Amino acid sequence: MGRKKTIKTIDEVLENSKTDQQHQEENLVKKTCRELGITQKELAEKIKVSRQTVSDWATGRIKISETIEYLLTLVLLEKEYFEFKKAMQGLMMIQNNSTILPLRFQA
């Protein structure tokens, strides 16, 4: 017995795409809050929008604009940069206490 193929209508494909996009947006807001250790209210204050707007983005009720998506991505990258910088400074301190590697890191 073969597998039965499912043929989707254009409307079904578009609806699935819309749902996937909403989940990605929801994940970006929640991921940003989780990664920064802040609440949605605090995120709203940081990016100068209402708490309700952030909540609507998180639930997928309102689509996140490309500008805000870019801003949230930059905020996450900035956090990663500072974590990397801190780790590198720690390595430099270890190196300065020993003579293993001639590594210099300028921030």
Cα–Cα distances (Å) from 79 to 37, 47, 53, in that order, read 11, 15, 23
pLDDT tens digits for range 49-95: 999 999 999 888 998 899 999 999 988 888 888 888 888 888 877 76
**Two tokens at 2?**
């073969």
pLDDT digits (tens, 9 = 90+) for 29-50: 988 999 899 999 999 999 999 9
Residue 14 has pLDDT above 90, yes or no: no
Q: Does 88 reside within a domain?
A: no
104 within a domain of the structure (yes/no): no
Query: Could you give the count of Cα atoms lying within 13 Å of 15 in the half-sphere of its Cβ?
Result: 5
Q: Does the residue 54 lie in any domain?
A: yes
The answer to whether residue 2 is domain-embedded is: no
Residue 57, in any domain of the structure:
yes
Q: Is residue 4 in a domain?
A: no
Q: Give the CATH number for residue 31.
A: 1.10.260
Q: What is this structure's pTM?
A: 0.57
> Residue 89: what pLDDT?
83
Residue 14: which domain range? 10-75
Q: How many domains does the chain have?
A: 1
